[in-house]
Structure 1
Amino acid sequence: MGIPEEKHLVEPALREISDKRMYERYLAVLHRLEGRTIKDISKMIKRTEKTTAGYIHSYEREELEGLSLGHSPGKPHRLMDEQERILANTVANKRPVDVGIEAKYTWTLKLAMLFVEREFGECYTEKGMSVLLHRLGLSHTKATYTMELANPEEQHTFTSKTFPALKKLMKQEIEHLLFEDECMIRAYQSLQYSWFPVGAQRRIPTYGRHEGAKLFGALNYETGQVLYRDGERYDTSAFIQFLDVVLKAYPTGKRVMILDNGRIHHAAEVRNYLKQHTRLQFVFLPKYPPDLNLIEGLWKWLKSDVVHNVFYKKFYHIRINVAAFMKRVNKKPVEVIDRLCIRM
């Protein structure tokens, strides 16, 4: 079979394959049939020259069948397929303490090595275990919180019925649809991963004070406009002052504000305020919504730009940078909509 005929077989197989690893092998073979060197191909598919050569040699021996995942072009795996499935399932769905590793709740390479040695009698180095876990589709990522008290049915009702109904009323009965929330921006907010020279670590100076800005914010779902107010406290009075900001910004038309069930949002003074300003209506989110309040994305954006890996010497410096951020995003409403509003 000549090279044109071989390409005629490999190209449709490449288009139809859905498995990422098989796609990589077919692609390597196709590049080889097109005359590229092993060195060039290895750079293109981001594999070692040894691995790439293994793909090519497997194809040369057994054609496309030789590339199947049952045919390892490199060093044979030390664990059997079933053992690898057990390892992957254990790390993904259980904690070390759940499988008898006492008082350990987070998987590390050393704990995975301990588990494999105990269960299967195979000893790995940390590097070898890292390679194995990555090959099994696992990665070293930061955990996140989930609200155990959240009600999935209430959240589904909001996303499938309540919010679509509100959107239908826009420009008819509702003139402005807003998402409201509060956020605390601390001077010592957080340290995050950052690119820096190998072997060195970025050091952030601190000043021993824990001041911060208490923000109220409202995101206009349709226009992308952001309103905010900072202050010294979160209480009913401060919230009502922010509502005054909202009413001043939107003096006409009915305004619907979507917000969480915070205590100050239900205060008697706030209820009286709404009676006096009947064109402002509250729609409360389900309890403990994980990501239904769109303005929470703005707070993450703000923290990423303004406070991560920064420690402010003066409190007013925080306010200056927060104001600059808000001014900047309000100049780019399309970006705000694309980043925060488009998903609902």
Structure 2
Amino acid sequence: MNRRDEIQNLNEAMREASNKRLYERYLAVRLHLEGHTFTEIGTLLNRAYQTISRYWTTYRENGLEGLELDHSPGKPVKLTDEQLDELANTVEKKQPADVGFEAHYTWTLQLIADWIEREFKQQYTQKGVSKLLQRLGFSYTKATYTLANASAEEQEEFRTNTFPALKKQLLEGEIDHLLFEDEAMIRAYQALQYNWFRKGQQRKIITTGKHEGAKLFAAINYETGHITHREEEQCDVNAFLRFLGDILEEYPEGKIFMILDNSRIHHASQLKPFLDKHKRLHLVFLPKYSPKLNLTEGLWKWVRQDVINNVYFKKFYRIRLHVSKFMKRLNASPQKVIDRLLVRL
């Protein structure tokens, strides 16, 4: 079923819904199908991000039936939607010490169980809390660093104003192609990553210790999921100009808006004559120090996970061969790119 049919089915379900909470669930899913982020929908409906994520996951797994209030694919949840929102917001935005657990600064399953019992008079085992958090869209992962010089205000401005305005222009035909662009270095000697091995038989990855690599340029079409990529020996302004030429060939007609970071080559004076000549190509710069706002960053992680990490390439050209095959495979299944990379913003 395509998105248009899904939206039509949701509209019909909304017209027939007599329960306000059920109507809200249908509306949340419809808004996401129309391109709104979980954050945007949560703000509109006054719900936590995790609640909207849970509606979407339930819909994807069980369809419209899964959104019905009496539908229970597993053990019934003991908490109301309002209590789940409060739980999600507490775990996401507060430390245990903020809510009365003195000298505790990291949430554990037992602390969350204790908090639930204290606030809602409901008892959960640690396993039950783990399953509950997973339903709310949480995962057990390491914290990550963020750049100290990043401006939270500028990032929020991009999320709530700049990018929604670009999407609106795309929808209304004022923009023909909206792209995210980035560069990356793919090394022959990549980091190791977790994988499944038989106990006592951990794989040993051969390496020469050399740091050869390919410089990759890539642009993802926000609407179609199509990827344009180019391999270069150097990541300099001339290579970037050649990639911009590829973009113009890939999209021979229409106005192109390309979202990218503030790398030095993106601001080089040599770009001006090229952009003056090709006025249908416009560069839109992200806030400084904001790599997570560039959806192409997820592509590089995908490449490393599926193609590069835990693999020894005896000949450097084989890296390029593998990367090219990977990009070709993604372009044959653009919906996978949309689902994995383009719904994050």
Q: What's the TM-score bracket when you normalise by the shorter of the two chains?
A: 0.5 to 0.7
In the other structure, the counterpart of 1:17 is 78
Q: Secondary structure at the match of 2:304?
A: helix
Is the CA contact 1:215–1:229 (under 8 Å) kept in the aligned structure 2? yes
Counterpart of 2:234 in structure 1 is 233
Counterpart of 2:147 in structure 1 is 147
Larger Rg: 1
The separation in 1 between residues aligned to 2:291 and 2:145, in whole angstroms, is 9
Whole-angstrom distance in 2 between the partners of 1:178 and 1:212: 25
Question: Structure 2 CA distance, aligned partners of 1:285 and 1:140?
Answer: 29
User: Can you give the 5+ residue segments of structure 2 that lack an aligned partner in the other structure?
Assistant: 1-71, 81-99, 109-126, 134-138
For 2:316, the equivalent position in structure 1 comes to: 315
Tell me by how many angstroms 1:311 deviates.
Answer: 2.0
Query: Cα offset for 1:167?
Result: 0.9
- Cα RMSD of the aligned pairs, angstroms, is 2.8
Following TM superposition, by how much is the alpha carbon of 1:343 offset from its aligned partner in structure 2, in angstroms?
A: 2.7
What's the TM-score once normalised by structure 1's chain length?
0.61
- Specify the alignment match of 1:255 in structure 2: 256
* Residue type at the aligned position of 2:296: I
- Specify the code of the residue in structure 2 equivalent to 1:147: L
- Separation (CA, whole Å) in 1 of partners of 2:106 and 2:161: 38
- Whether the 8 Å contact between 2:291 and 2:297 is mirrored in structure 1 is no
Structure 1 counterpart of 2:281, one-letter code: L
Cα distance per residue 1:78-133 (max 9 Å; x no partner):
xxxxxx9446x24569xxxxxxxxxxxxxxxxxxxxxxxxxxxxxxxxxxxxx9xx
Q: Deviations over 1:268-288 (max 9, x none)?
A: 111221111100001100011
Counterpart of 1:226 in structure 2: which amino acid? I
The percentage of counterpart residues that share the same residue type is: 55
Contact 2:178 2:222 in 1 (8 A): yes
Equivalent position of 1:276 in the other structure: 277
Q: Single out whichever of 215-224 and 191-200 deviates more from structure 2.
A: 191-200
1:217 aligned counterpart, secondary structure: strand
- 1:147–1:290 Cα contact (<8 Å) kept: no
CA distance in 2, matches of 1:199, 1:314: 30
Q: For residue 151 of structure 1, what is the amino acid of its counterpart? A: S
C-alpha change, 1:90 and 1:162, in structure 2 (3 Å) is closer
Match of 2:164 in 1: 164
Shift of 1:15: 4.6
Return the offset for 1:18.
Answer: 2.5
Farther-moved stretch of structure 1 (222-231 vs 167-176): 167-176
In the TM superposition, residue 209 of structure 1 has moved relative to its aligned partner by: 2.1
**Structure 1 residue matching 2:292: 3-state secondary structure:** coil
Say how many residue pairs are matched.
Answer: 228
Which residue identity does 2:78 align to in structure 1? I
Q: For residues 1-344 of structure 1, what are the structure 2 equivalents within 5 Å?
A: 15=76, 17-18=78-79, 85-86=101-102, 89-90=104-105, 141-170=141-170, 171-344=172-345
1:16–1:306 CA distance, 2 compared to 1 (3 A): closer
Task: Name the stretch that deviates more: 285-294 or 315-324.
Answer: 285-294
Q: Secondary structure at 1:227's aligned position in 2?
A: strand
- Pairwise CA distance, 1:338: 1.1
Q: Distance in 2 between matches of 1:290 and 1:325?
A: 23
Deviation at residue 145 of structure 1 after TM alignment = 1.8
Distance 1:309 1:155 in 2: 34
User: Which residue is equivalent to 1:5?
Assistant: none
Cα drift, residue 141 of structure 1: 4.8
Determine the C-alpha separation between the residues in 2 that align with 1:234 and 1:222. 27
The Cα of 1:200 is off from its aligned counterpart by 3.1
Shift >4 Å, 4+ stretches:
90-93
**1:247-300: CA deviations, max 9, x gaps?**
000010000000000000000111221111100001100011141111111111
Instruction: Describe the shift of the 1:174–1:312 C-alpha distance in structure 2 as closer, same or farther (beyond 3 A).
Output: same
Assess if the C-alpha contact under 8 Å between 1:146 and 1:290 holds in 2.
no
Say if 1:181 and 1:218, in contact at 8 Å, map to a contact too: yes
Instruction: Provide closer, same or farther for how the CA distance between residues 298 and 16 of structure 1 changes in structure 2, counting only shifts above 3 A.
Output: closer
Distance 1:15 1:222 in 2: 38
**One-letter amino acid of the structure 1 residue matched with residue 205 of structure 2:** I
So what's the TM-score if we normalise by structure 2?
A: 0.61
